[in-house]
Amino acid sequence: MNQERDGQRFETVAIHAGQEPDPVTGAVVPPIHQSSTFKQDGVGGLRGGWEYGRSGNPTRAALEENLAALEGGRRGLAFASGLAAEDCLLRTLLRPGDHLVIPDDAYGGTFRLVAQVVDRWGVAWSVADTTDPAAVRAAVRPETKAVWVETPSNPLLGITDIAAVAEVARSAGARLVVDNTFASPYLQQPLALGADVVVHSTTKYLGGHSDVVGGALVVADEALAGELTFHQNAMGAVAGPFDSWLVLRGIKTLAVRMDRHSANAARVAEALAAHPRVVQVCYPGLPSHPGHETAAKQMRDFGGMVSFRVEGGERAAVAVCDRARLFTLGESLGGVESLIEHPGRMTHASVAGSALEVPADLVRLSVGIESVDDLLADLAQALG
């Protein structure tokens, strides 16, 4: 898990990749190039290749180079949101008549994009339990072009064996896409395990401070990188300069934040597992989690997301969310501050009635980096 670049470890790469001091001023932090266009020295005389802010911007390029280095890929692409990145990827990979496999547990917005948008392109899709490679094998068809995986998954924290599913996808002639948002590249590097594309909502751990919405793709294959770059410019949902700068700034502390998120979440998961009103805890760091061994094999640590089911059904779960004080009631995740939410009514309302439906008694926590004792006290009072 010690990804190296020129012999450097992850923590060093996170701070330096794509971010040499500015050659003109010496600024240690890359400037925010808040400019829509770039002066040409005579028609076609581009300075440094910069032409127009949608096709390319130096601040965004710094982030894209950094992301590629963090994931061990050849090219990173930054978008206006995670869903914008997903849309660009699916348009690049799929044509009418193609087939896509999606997981039976995934972010509700990803499901909505596939079921209500991609579906209208004449692309067929089916749902599989990707935590079982045999189920993925059974779901692929001759026309399957992509297998989509989220691991850990949102919101049930299911673990998919990336290397095993990569093998299934490869033998079916399909590309494996891994949404690495919950893990972040510090905890897990899907390309090294055989994935073709990594997806991120940079809104989450990469940004890390709940102050930016963004998305990213990272690929190893040069031809696919070229196609994606074409679509990124042709469709235009790029990350803006200031948003790119915020994500770059967040990434500098990713490693230390993820260590604390993981340590706090492990304590929270243990406390919940011992609570009489908690029916089930979903956290891959618990030895009782069905994906624990796979997670231990492919992740550096188990991350900051925990979900749990509360005795008393939906009303009880909603009441816990409403009573929490230090855990802020809100959608999203991955920031330094702890969040709590009810997936069935909030982030995953769009999967109601589908194969991805989430339990009504489920509460999801994004465990932040506050004092864990304060977090445990808040949960104890919220559970009553």
Q: Annotated catalytic sites, by residue?
A: 54, 107, 179, 204
Decide: is 130 part of the binding site for ligand P1T (CB under 6 A).
no
Burial class (CB within 10 angstroms; exposed 0-12, middle 13-18, buried 19+) of 28: exposed
Decide: is 150 part of the binding site for ligand P1T (CB under 6 A).
yes
Decide: is 83 part of the binding site for ligand P1T (CB under 6 A).
yes
Q: Which stretch binds ligand P1T (CB under 6 A): 57-65, 107-115, 317-325, 376-384?
A: 107-115
* Contact between 160 and 131 (Cβ < 8 Å): yes
Region 200-239 residues binding ligand P1T, contact defined as CB under 6 A:
201, 203, 213, 215
* Contact between 131 and 159 (Cβ < 8 Å): yes
Which of 3, 154 has the CB closer to ligand P1T? Answer: 154
Percent of the chain that is helix, strand, coil (3-state, to 5) = 40, 15, 45
Q: Which stretch binds ligand P1T (CB under 6 A): 96-104, 105-113, 250-258, 276-284?
A: 105-113
Region 336-355 residues binding ligand P1T, contact defined as CB under 6 A:
347
- Element (H or E) spanning 150, and its range? strand 144-150
CA atoms within 13 A on the CB side of 364: 26
> Least Å distance between CB 166 and ligand P1T?
19
> Least Å distance between CB 359 and ligand P1T?
16
Which of 144, 151 has the CB closer to ligand P1T? Answer: 151
Decide: is 81 part of the binding site for ligand P1T (CB under 6 A).
yes
> Least Å distance between CB 154 and ligand P1T?
5
d(CA 349, CA 361): 14
Near ligand P1T by CB under 6 A: residue from 63, 90, 92, 107: 107
Cα–chain center distance at 142: 28
Is the Cα dihedral 286, 310, 105, 378 positive or negative?
negative
- Other C-beta atoms within 10 Å of 26: how many? 7
* Contact between 120 and 87 (Cβ < 8 Å): no
d(CA 364, CA 156): 8
Near ligand P1T by CB under 6 A: residue from 233, 332, 350, 354: 332
Decide: is 82 part of the binding site for ligand P1T (CB under 6 A).
yes
Rg of the chain (C-alpha set): 21
> Least Å distance between CB 309 and ligand P1T?
18
> Least Å distance between CB 219 and ligand P1T?
17
d(CA 217, CA 77): 5
Q: In Å, what is the CA distance from 231 to each residue of 25, 93, 238?
A: 34, 11, 10
Q: Which stretch binds ligand P1T (CB under 6 A): 32-40, 252-260, 321-329, 331-339?
A: 331-339
> Least Å distance between CB 66 and ligand P1T?
18
> Least Å distance between CB 214 and ligand P1T?
6
Name the residue number minimizing CB distance to ligand P1T. Answer: 82
Q: Which stretch binds ligand P1T (CB under 6 A): 272-280, 314-322, 327-335, 354-362?
A: 327-335
Region 172-191 residues binding ligand P1T, contact defined as CB under 6 A:
179, 181
Cα 90–Cα 96–Cα 100 angle in degrees, nearest 5: 50
In the complex, which residues of this chain contact ligand P1T (CB under 6 A)? 81-83, 107, 109-110, 150, 154, 179, 181, 201, 203, 213, 215, 331-333, 347
